[in-house]
A and B are shown apart, each in its own frame.
Chain A
Amino acid sequence: MKINIDYIARVEGEGSVKFEIKDGGLRNLKLNIWEPPRFFEGFLVGRKYDEVPDIVSRICGICPVSHMTTSINSLENAMGFNPSQEIKKIRKIMALSQIAASHIVHLYVLALPDYREKDMVVGLNREITRLVKLKEAVNNVTGRIGGRPLHPVSMIAGGFTKVPSRDEVGRVVKQLKRVRADALQTVKMIAKLDYPDLKTNVEFLALKSENNYAINEGTIITGSGLKAGLEEYHRYFSEKEVPYANAKRTVLKGKNPVMVGALARLHIKFDELHPEARKAADMIGFKTGDVNPYHNNIAQAIEIVHCIWECIELLETISHKDTFMTIDVKEGYGSAITEAPRGLLLHEYELNRMGVVKKANIVTPTAYNFLSIEESLKKLVQENIDKPENKLKLLCEMLVRAYDPCFSCSVH
């Protein structure tokens, strides 16, 4: 019997899952990412450093801030520029607010309907009301600083073209404080959903740094204890083309398939979470080392709490000093890796002496997760092979959605 999920709905971008069941066994399972390529790494060559962040932000409609920040860090590295602490702080606020926004939408609009036996969120009125309230509060942070929440404009190499006034920041903080209860409510709701059982052999991967929950910089740490600095990246990771997908597949050489994203982050750096988020995790009995990918949803809910609380604290200490610095354009190579909402994101560039891109490389979270999504799907199908086709299809879709893949990003 051939099973074909033509397109996976309620994810970003386009992909399908195909497999065969023959003599009671599973064969040929493929995650076919047919999202058409746009060739960012190709046409970035010849573009100047100051337009790169605006261009790469269009890779993704949900995590534009991550692509902008990662490209900016990487370009600044290439030109030997060190941003001020204040610039780094505001970039972190932007990242946190966007991670929260992305998780909120994923949980409520993309994931939740499955667990309530619906095809879409319409009809879940109480949840929609909470979604809108939360989304508006976190989008306001991104929007107030960036000019707009989607494809913001104030973030450029060198810092920020404008920073909101004290009054404006005050209003944003006030609104964030008002949705704290909604964030905790979200954790409770998401924890109560009935998740399918699945244990996988994935290698968790996340950024870690001392004394804070690493987002925009840090060392790559794996669940089995491997440590990799940015300069050793290509020694440990390789990216391969896949004949049946437009996305490339990134693997950690000699290790199990890797998983990046909220669940991986909680596993690697639970202790660095904001105390309120740890409290929320305790409240629902979340334990690190949980290897059920469906529980990525729960991890995301806990991270929403972290993001909102940390955003409030950072916003309250924002100043207007040193938020923009001039860059000396020069030749060089630079790379940067950050935590996008869905996991690790790498950008690397080579610039000529005019600041024009000679070479560009981008590795997105879904490229890291590609192999482990396939492996988890195989395990899931094998364990549920007797289930009726419709049920099996739904389980597969729910699993893919739990990873919160972004196929648009993965192909770019």
Chain B
Amino acid sequence: MKKPRLGFFKYSCCAGCEFQVMYFQKHVLETLKNFEFIFARMLLRGGNPHGPFDIALVEGTITEAWQADELKKIREKSTLLFAIGSCAVDGGIPAIKSTMPELDVESKVYADITTIHSIRPHAIDAYIKVDGYIRGCPPGERDLAEALSSVLSDKKPDFINYSVCVECKLKGNVCVLVAYGMPCMGPVTNAGCGALCPSMNRACYACFGPMKQANGPALARKFKMMGLSKEDIKRRFTEFGADTLEFRRALDILED
């Protein structure tokens, strides 16, 4: 069998996703053996950025115009294209910038912003159609393995699509929101981490981004009842997911 041709592209992010793909412990040998690496900057010198690719993995938020242009070209050359990691999936940490006047943010960092060409940060699906989302920061190993193995076995990938609460229940964790009054984002956050934070005695901070159709406003109301300030609630919903509809909607209840 011919090995599937893989391309890996990085936009504005920490490069941790590519790191995770290349070295995620249990599967690194299989990954390296079963795919033909056509383009992956962190792993391969040279390489062909123009494809074609059987599978393209894209990490990072889109924060400059050239990235969007390049992304559209990659889409055309790729049979399957997955967003990997919270930045590419829903804007992630770099999208915090969009909660503030962007010029203010930029001029806090650079005295001379004439050489800075940033646009409003967005997830990659603001520009192209995506075949699947490998969520998480860092991306969950289960969904990553699912994406790669689905390409190898030519089937439709089945990604995790429920909230962190489900994982807590499966693990038998005590609910940190109900029992300890911690402002846990678990009820509205997509699972895949293995309910990591609640298992480590702290509140989930939504690094896997919102679960699709999560009821953000209900949780925001709960936080309000618990006595969290407006500002604190806003921060909970904009650390990961400032660029998402699910979390932005939660902020509406703070207006009344």
User: What residues make up the interface of A, taking CB atoms closer than 8 Å to B?
Assistant: 7, 9-14, 36-43, 45-48, 51, 54-55, 58-62, 64, 105, 109-110, 113-114, 119-122, 128, 132, 135-136, 139, 147-148, 150-151, 153-154, 156, 161-162, 241, 243, 246, 356, 397, 408
Contacts and interface: CB of A to CB of B under 8 A. Distances in A.
Contacts of A10: 41-45
B15 A9 contact: no
Contact of B41 (A7, A54, A113, A147): A7
Nearest to A38: B94
B20 to A, nearest CB: 6
B200 interface: yes
A43 B96 contact: yes
A36 B239 contact: no
A360 B204 CA distance: 25
Interface in B106-123: 106-112, 115-116, 118
A150 B138 contact: yes
Interface in B91-109: 92-94, 96-97, 99-100, 104-109
Given A62-B15, A150-B20, 18 more contacts: A7-B41, A37-B106, A37-B110, A37-B116, A39-B97, A42-B108, A46-B100, A62-B16, A109-B22, A119-B44, A119-B47, A120-B44, A121-B32, A128-B29, A135-B25, A148-B138, A153-B200, A246-B116
Q: Which of A48, A139, A161 has the most CB of B within 10 A?
A: A161
A45 B106 CA distance: 12
B144 interface: no
A156 B200 CA distance: 11
B42 to A, nearest CB: 6
Contact of A41 (B109, B138, B196, B205): B109
A47 B235 contact: yes
Nearest to B141: A148
Interface string B138-172: 10000000000000000000000000000000000
A162 B99 CA distance: 32
B96 A241 contact: no
Contact of A58 (B47, B92, B105, B109): B92
A48 B19 contact: no
Interface in B20-71: 20, 22-23, 25, 28-29, 32, 37, 40-47, 61, 63-64, 67
Nearest to B116: A37
A90 to B, nearest CB: 13
A9 B14 contact: no
A43 B105 contact: yes
Contacts of A120: 37, 40, 43-45
Nearest to B62: A36
B199 interface: yes
Nearest to A160: B200
B127 to A, nearest CB: 15
B76 interface: no
9 contacts: A37-B63, A38-B94, A61-B17, A62-B15, A62-B16, A132-B23, A151-B207, A241-B110, A408-B13
B197 A153 contact: yes
B50 to A, nearest CB: 13
A156 B231 CA distance: 20
B201 interface: yes
Contacts of A43: 96-97, 99-100, 105
Given A109-B43, A135-B25, A161-B202, A147 B15 contact: no
Given A10-B44, A61-B17, A136-B25, A54 B112 contact: no
Interface of B: 10-20, 22-23, 25, 28-29, 32, 37, 40-47, 61, 63-64, 67, 92-94, 96-97, 99-100, 104-112, 115-116, 118, 137-138, 193, 196-197, 199-202, 205, 207, 231-232, 235, 239
A234 to B, nearest CB: 16
Nearest to A143: B25
Contact of A38 (B12, B46, B100, B200): B12
B202 A156 contact: yes
A406 to B, nearest CB: 8
Contact of A121 (B25, B41, B43): B43
Secondary structure call for the A interface: loop
Nearest to A61: B16
Nearest to A411: B12
A61 B14 contact: yes
A367 to B, nearest CB: 13
A38 B97 contact: yes
Nearest to B100: A43
Q: Which of A47, A132, A153 has the most CB of B within 10 A?
A: A153
B200 A161 contact: yes
Contact of B14 (A46, A105, A122, A408): A408
Contact of B15 (A13, A40, A51, A109): A13
B23 A105 contact: yes
A241 B111 contact: yes
Given A36-B118, A58-B14, A147 B196 contact: yes
A41 B105 CA distance: 8
Contact of B112 (A62, A64, A105, A241): A241
A9 B45 contact: yes
A246 B13 CA distance: 14
B66 to A, nearest CB: 9
A95 to B, nearest CB: 18
Please provide the 8 A-B residue pairs with the shortest distance between their CB atoms, ordered closest to farther: A61-B16, A42-B105, A61-B14, A42-B108, A150-B138, A9-B45, A119-B45, A120-B44
Contacts of B116: 37, 246
A385 B134 CA distance: 46
Given A9-B44, A42-B106, A241-B111, A147 B100 contact: no
A399 to B, nearest CB: 14
Nearest to B12: A36
Contacts of B201: 161-162
Contacts of B207: 54, 151
B200 A122 contact: no
A178 to B, nearest CB: 15
Contacts of A47: 96, 235, 239
